[in-house]
């Protein structure tokens, strides 16, 4: 997708939902084959990120991996979704994408198959964009934090680094046990 096609993406309007939906009611193909049933992630917060291998923001892979290394043992899931929607900045071949992520950034979190996240969005990405208080990705590395209940907690723009205070504070809050305490 070239720059003109990318510019046309911004003319497309996404209608927001009035009530949040359960974002874990989706399935998406995995980069190395098979399908990820997001219902398997229920009960744990998940950070969804649209990624690209040939973008100036690609070094955010390192920050995402650091988040996963820090919070993964406490339950945080990270799901990266390669997409060429923005100026065609993703490799075409799934094997090349997988090798790039592993070789350059040691990515061990989940990577889905390459899909559209804005031009003709995969149902998961259409649903993420339509949640109350959300919006479609505006560029590569937009981040969506979803709670263990499947509801969107926060959306962070591409310009917000994975280690930014607002991201780590939202993750910390999402990981806190939700229970009743007796006095």
What CATH number has the domain bearing residue 70?
A: 3.40.30.10
pLDDT at 182: 43
Burial class (CB in 10 A: 0-12, 13-18, 19+), 30: middle
pLDDT at 183: 43
Residue 181 forms part of a structural domain: no
Could you give the count of Cα atoms lying within 13 Å of 145 in the half-sphere of its Cβ? 22
Lookup: tokens for 169:
């504070």
Residue 160 forms part of a structural domain: yes
Beta bridge partners of 27: 37
pLDDT at 19: 87
Residues 48, 129: Cα–Cα separation, whole Å: 11
pLDDT at 22: 96
Phi-psi region of 34 (alpha: psi -120 to 50; beta: other; left: phi over 0): left
Helix axes 165-175, 60-71, angle to 10 degrees: 30
Q: Of 155, 148, 118, whose CA–CA distance to 133 is shortest? A: 155
pLDDT at 165: 98
Domain that holds residue 54: 3-175
Domain total in the chain:
1
Residue 91 forms part of a structural domain: yes
Residue 182 forms part of a structural domain: no
Provide block-wise average pLDDT over 10 residues at a time, the chain (183 residues): 51 70 97 96 97 96 98 97 95 93 94 96 96 95 97 97 98 83 45
Which of the residues are catalytic? 55
Residue 183 forms part of a structural domain: no
């Amino acid at each position: 997708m070239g720059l003109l096609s990318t510019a046309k993406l911004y003319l497309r309007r996404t209608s927001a939902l009035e009530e949040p939906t359960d974002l874990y009611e989706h399935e998406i193909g995995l980069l190395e084959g098979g399908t990820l049933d997001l219902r398997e992630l229920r009960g744990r917060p998940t950070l969804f990120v649209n990624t690209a291998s040939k973008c100036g923001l690609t070094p955010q892979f390192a920050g995402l991996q650091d988040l996963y290394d820090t919070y993964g043992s406490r339950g945080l899931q990270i799901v990266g979704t390669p997409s060429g929607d923005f100026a065609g900045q993703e490799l075409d071949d799934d094997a090349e994408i997988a090798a790039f992520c592993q070789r350059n950034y040691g990515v061990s979190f989940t990577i889905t198959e390459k899909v559209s996240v804005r031009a003709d969005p995969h149902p998961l990405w259409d649903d993420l964009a339509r949640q109350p208080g959300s919006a479609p990705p505006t560029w590569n590395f937009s981040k969506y934090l979803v709670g263990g209940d499947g509801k969107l907690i926060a959306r962070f723009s591409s310009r917000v680094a994975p280690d930014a205070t607002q991201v780590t504070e939202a993750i910390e809050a999402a990981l806190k046990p939700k229970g009743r305490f007796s006095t």
